[in-house]
């Protein structure tokens, strides 16, 4: 369906997907793709629909704030073999389970947005995707938890921006 591009796995809540785990995998995959690994690039291209799409699918019913939530609903409870196919299905089930950010950041209590920003930056570097650049730009400006300048100063490990921005091509880091 339209919301493909995520890797399945077991997590503590049935039918849940932690987007931040996808970010960890995508970031490492992007590094391999930048280094010339064609298989990594193929996986990254496939994952882009989810990694990028969760921040650009508002028109399809998915609140981009939920792209950095701790959990989103990816299938009915106890039915992992029947994943939701649309962003609106994921959004509705995420809200129904009380996992949605509801237009703010109530369910983004850790550095999940930092991880998403880092994976989007790595995705831009590996693919040159304009859509990933737009998603990165939205999230860096969205005032998500742990994305303020002071957070990156005190913990710079995830202070990753696309290469074009490091070269001075415009844009700014989260402040």
Mean pLDDT of 28-37: 96
Domain assignment present for residue 118? The answer is: yes
Condensed to tens digits (0 to 9), the pLDDT of residues 43-79 reads 999 999 999 999 999 999 999 999 999 999 999 998 8
Domain assignment present for residue 63? The answer is: yes
Condensed to tens digits (0 to 9), the pLDDT of residues 10-28 reads 788 899 999 999 999 999 9
The whole-angstrom separation of Cα 60 and Cα 91 is 9
**DSSP states of 128-145:** --HHHHHHHHHHHHTT-T
Domain assignment present for residue 10? The answer is: no
Tell me how many domains the chain contains: 1
Domain assignment present for residue 125? The answer is: yes
Q: Is the pLDDT of residue 174 over 60?
A: no
Q: Is the pLDDT of residue 107 over 50?
A: yes
Domain carrying residue 128: 16-166
Query: pTM value?
Result: 0.89
Domain assignment present for residue 6? The answer is: no
């Amino acid at each position: 369906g339209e919301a493909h591009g995520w890797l399945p796995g077991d997590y503590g809540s049935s039918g849940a997907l932690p987007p931040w785990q996808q970010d960890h995998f995508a970031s490492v995959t992007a590094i391999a793709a930048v280094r010339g690994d064609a298989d990594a690039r193929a996986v990254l291209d496939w994952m882009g629909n989810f990694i990028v799409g969760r921040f650009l699918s508002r028109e399809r019913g998915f609140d981009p704030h939920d792209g950095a939530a701790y959990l989103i609903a990816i299938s009915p409870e106890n039915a992992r073999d029947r994943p939701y196919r649309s962003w609106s299905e994921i959004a509705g089930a995420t809200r129904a389970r009380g996992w949605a950010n509801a237009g703010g950041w109530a369910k983004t209590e850790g550095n999940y947005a930092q991880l998403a920003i880092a994976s989007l930056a790595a995705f831009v570097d590996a693919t040159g995707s304009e859509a990933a650049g737009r998603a990165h730009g939205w999230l860096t400006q969205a005032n998500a938890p742990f994305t303020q300048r002071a957070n990156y100063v005190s913990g710079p490990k995830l202070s990753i921006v696309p290469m074009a921005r490091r070269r001075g091509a415009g844009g700014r880091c989260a402040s």
